[in-house]
Structure 1
């Protein structure tokens, strides 16, 4: 049980780090590409946004799986008692 709580805390921490990295990398990419032209900067920023959003969604799916496992374990304990 404690390992799931620790895993949940680690996933929440990683999600926070990924959100911060996403906005930082969006700022870097947009400012670096803005000197080229605006459409290139927007496309580059969109690609970076999609990359980080993919990993954030994957972490959210891990949290959903942990919730499902916790509910199944709770139901198993209810049937046993």
Structure 2
């Protein structure tokens, strides 16, 4: 089996989200730590030299993580 990059990326994102939710649900990592982890991940991609080109994968990944942080993240409890 040789999944496409999109399928592999979606699987990885789903697995990571499930892990973050479980870590929070079991009081292993508090929400603030999880949000910090997401911000660090976004920043590392945004600060890559290639990220100055908005169509580069680093810039796209940073934008996606920032969208998750801004409102689509089910880890955030409101």
How high is the TM-score relative to the length of structure 1?
Answer: 0.41
Q: Greater RCO between the two (CA within 8 Å, min separation 6)?
A: 1
Which structure carries more helix by proportion?
1
